[in-house]
């Protein structure tokens, strides 16, 4: 017979897995951009924030159904990603990394300020309240289950695109040698734009899912941007598999760690874990020992 503590622990572990799927999705987008273009989109979570506002206005203002608004939002944020590349990254491609970092950092503040001015600082939500699933005395929110499933599907689609198409093959390889890629007939600018749009689309998908769990406000990116960044670093920046594993490790620490007192303590433990890991495995969880 299970005692009460075990059920809570199990519930926390399952919730950790659900959170991990979402974190893995966010990390995949950031890793994709870093792994392929060698640029860190500091403003990644702000693209998600814009996508969440997109969902809000489409659902609440134009009265679209959630399932019509979601693909539109994915397209919108994909276009934003491509635009970010064309306007900010492309001119700085051969600039020092610190300049690229500062530029995308600048975009972060521009997007936050834009959202504040355009949408105000009120907390908004879709007004959709999904029920809670009860199973063997444990409670799981449908929003999280849906997010987990959709994140998984999104990641599988990206994986298939990368493995089964030659555009995907070029995306996987281009980071090693941009010059040779061009001499194989590949328009490298086009590959970068496709990659940026794909990174944007992943942010768009994340925003459709997060909007079911979080209220929308101009600074909502701060709730998951830094964690996404830490997950990527923990997995090894640009390492897709590492990011995936790190997302679940991080999510479990947050979820199970939060069990002992507040959820905030889970975050404290996760960040402490991150700092310790940076000393032990600075190149990421899955990095080979040299």
Partner 1 sequence: MLVVEGLVKRFGGFKAVNNVSFKVDQGEILGLIGPNGSGKSTIFNMLSGTFPPTSGSMTFDGAEISGLPPHRIINRGIGRTFQIPRPFHRLTMFENVALAGYFGQCRHSRAKADEAAERALAMVGLPADRSMSVDGLGAAGLKKLELAKALATGPKLLLADESLGGLDDTEMEQAADMLRKIRDELGITIIWVEHIMGVLMRVVDRVMVLDHGEKISEGLPSEVSSDPRVIEVYLGTDADATQAAAAQARRPGAAHA
* 8 Å CB contact between 70 and 146: no
Q: In this chain, which stretch among 3-11, 146-154, 161-169, 246-254 interacts with partner 1, using CB under 8 A?
A: 161-169
Nearest distance in Å: CB 193, partner 1: 14
CB count in 10 Å sphere of residue 241: 12
DSSP secondary structure string for all residues of 116-156: HHHH-S--B-------EEEETTEEEEHHHHHHHHHHHHHHH
Residues 212-271 that bind partner 1 (CB under 8 A): none
- Asked whether position 275 contacts partner 1 by CB under 8 A, the answer is no
Which phi and psi (to 5°) does residue 281 adopt?
Answer: -130, 75
CA pair distance 17, 114, nearest whole angstrom: 34
Q: In this chain, which stretch among 36-44, 131-139, 151-159, 181-189 interacts with partner 1, using CB under 8 A?
A: 181-189
- Asked whether position 177 contacts partner 1 by CB under 8 A, the answer is yes
Binding mask 117-156 for partner 1 (x = CB under 8 A): ----------------------------------------
Q: In this chain, which stretch among 10-18, 22-30, 106-114, 163-171 interacts with partner 1, using CB under 8 A?
A: 163-171
- Asked whether position 166 contacts partner 1 by CB under 8 A, the answer is yes
Between helix 44-56 and helix 66-84 the angle, nearest 10°, is: 150
Nearest distance in Å: CB 169, partner 1: 5
Among 120, 172, 260, 263, binds partner 1 (CB under 8 A): 172
CA pair distance 20, 17, nearest whole angstrom: 5
């Amino acid at each position: 017979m299970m005692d009460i503590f075990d059920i809570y622990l199990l519930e926390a572990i399952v919730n950790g897995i659900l959170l991990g799927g979402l974190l893995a999705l966010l990390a995949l987008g950031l890793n994709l951009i870093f792994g392929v273009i060698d640029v860190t989109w500091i403003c990644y979570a702000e693209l998600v924030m814009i996508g969440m506002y997109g969902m809000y206005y489409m659902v609440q203002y134009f009265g679209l159904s959630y399932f019509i608004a979601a693909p539109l939002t994915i397209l919108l944020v994909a276009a934003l990603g491509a635009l970010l590349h064309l306007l900010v990254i492309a001119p700085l491609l051969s600039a020092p990394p610190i300049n690229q970092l500062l530029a995308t950092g600048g975009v972060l503040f521009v997007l936050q300020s834009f959202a504040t001015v355009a949408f105000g600082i009120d907390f908004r939500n879709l007004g959709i309240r999904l029920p809670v699933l009860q199973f063997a005395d444990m409670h799981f929110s449908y929003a999280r289950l849906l997010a987990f499933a959709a994140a998984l599907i999104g990641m599988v689609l990206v994986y298939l695109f990368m493995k089964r198409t030659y555009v995907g093959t070029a995306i996987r390889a281009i980071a090693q040698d941009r010059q040779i890629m061009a001499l194989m007939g590949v328009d490298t600018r086009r590959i970068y734009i496709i990659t940026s749009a794909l990174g944007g689309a992943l942010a768009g998908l994340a925003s459709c899912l997060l909007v079911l769990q979080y209220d929308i406000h101009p600074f909502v990116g701060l709730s998951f941007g830094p964690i996404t960044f830490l997950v990527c670093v923990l997995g090894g920046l640009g390492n897709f598999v590492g990011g995936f594993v790190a997302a679940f490790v991080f999510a479990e620490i947050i979820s199970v760690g939060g069990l002992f007192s507040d959820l905030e303590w889970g975050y404290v433990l996760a960040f402490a874990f991150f700092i310790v890991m940076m000393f032990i495995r600075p190149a990421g969880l899955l990095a080979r020992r040299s």
